[in-house]
């Protein structure tokens, strides 16, 4: 009897433009002077995450 072989989860191809996510995150930096300093890290982390996602898919272009 054959044993089942685990496989990586199937993911649907991403239909969204990764640059759109970067642009949205960068817009979160607009008017940063009006945002409490405690929220700055969260906004920069969002940009970093979106850039990482966009760059990780660059080999698929």
Summarised one tens digit per residue, pLDDT across range 20-54 is: 889 999 999 998 999 999 999 999 999 999 999 88
Predicted local confidence at residue 9, as pLDDT: 55
- Residue 60, classed as helix, strand or coil, is helix
Whether the pLDDT of residue 6 is over 80: the answer is: no
Residue 12 lies in a domain: no
Structure token digits, residue 6 = 């685990």
- What is the total count of domains within the chain? 1
Whether the pLDDT of residue 3 is over 80: the answer is: no
Residue 8 lies in a domain: no
Residue 39 lies in a domain: yes
**35 closest CA partner among 27, 50, 22:** 27
Residue 2 lies in a domain: no
H or E, element range at 25:
helix 18-27
Residue 48 lies in a domain: yes
Domain around 48: 18-60
Residue 1 lies in a domain: no
Whether the pLDDT of residue 14 is over 60: the answer is: no
Question: In the structure, what pLDDT confidence band is assigned to residue 19 with cuts at 50, 70 and 90?
Answer: confident
Length of the chain: 61
Q: Do the Cβ atoms of 28 and 47 come closer than 8 Å?
A: yes
């Amino acid at each position: 009897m054959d044993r089942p072989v685990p496989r990586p989860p199937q993911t649907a191809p991403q239909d969204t433009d990764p640059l759109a996510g970067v642009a949205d995150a960068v817009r979160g930096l607009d008017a940063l002077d009006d945002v409490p300093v405690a929220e700055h890290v969260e906004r920069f982390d969002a940009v970093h995450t979106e850039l990482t996602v966009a760059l990780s898919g660059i080999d698929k272009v």
